[in-house]
Amino acid sequence: MKSTNITWHDSKVTKEARQKQKGHKSPVIWFTGLSGSGKSTLSVEVEKALYESNIHSYRLDGDNVRHGLNKNLGFSPEDRKENIRRIGEVANLMSDAGLVTLTAFISPYREDRDEVRELMDEKEFIEVYVKCSLEEAEKRDPKGLYKKARSGEISGFTGIDAPYEEPNAPELVVETDQQTLEESVASVINYLRENDYIDA
Ligand X SMILES: Nc1ncnc2c1ncn2[C@@H]1O[C@H](COP(=O)(O)OP(=O)(O)O)[C@@H](O)[C@H]1O
List the catalytic residues. Answer: 107
Strands (E), 68-109: 100-104
Cα of first residue to Cα of last residue in the chain, in angstroms, is 43
- Which residues, 6+ apart, have CB-to-CB distance to 48 below 8 Å? none
Neighbouring CB atoms inside 10 A of 170's CB total 17
Considering only residues 133 to 172 of the shown chain, the ones binding ligand X according to CB under 6 A are 140, 142
Helix axes of 39-52 and 181-194: crossing angle, nearest 10 degrees: 50
| Residue 66 near ligand PPS by CB under 6 A | yes
Q: Rule CB under 6 A: choose which of 59, 80, 113, 131 binds ligand PPS.
A: 80
Which one, of 195, 190, 158, 160, lies nearest residue 174 by Cα? 190
What is the rounded distance in angstroms from the CA atom of residue 100 to the CA atom of residue 192?
10
Candidate segments 14-22, 47-55, 93-101, 177-185, binder of ligand X by CB under 6 A: 177-185
Q: Which does 83 bind (CB under 5 to 8 A by kind): ligand X, ligand PPS, none?
A: ligand PPS
Minimum distance, C-beta of residue 67 to ligand PPS, in the bound complex (Å): 11
Q: How far is the CB of 163 from ligand PPS (least distance, A)?
A: 10
Contacts to ligand X from residues 95-124, by CB under 6 A: 104
- Burial class from Cβ neighbours inside 10 Å (0-12, 13-18, 19+) for residue 10 reads exposed
Q: Which residues are annotated as a binding site for ATP?
A: 33-40
Residues that bind ligand X (CB under 6 A): 33, 35-42, 104, 140, 142, 176, 179-181, 184
Residues that bind ligand PPS (CB under 6 A): 35-36, 39-40, 62-63, 66, 75, 80, 83-84, 105-108, 143, 145, 154, 156-158, 162
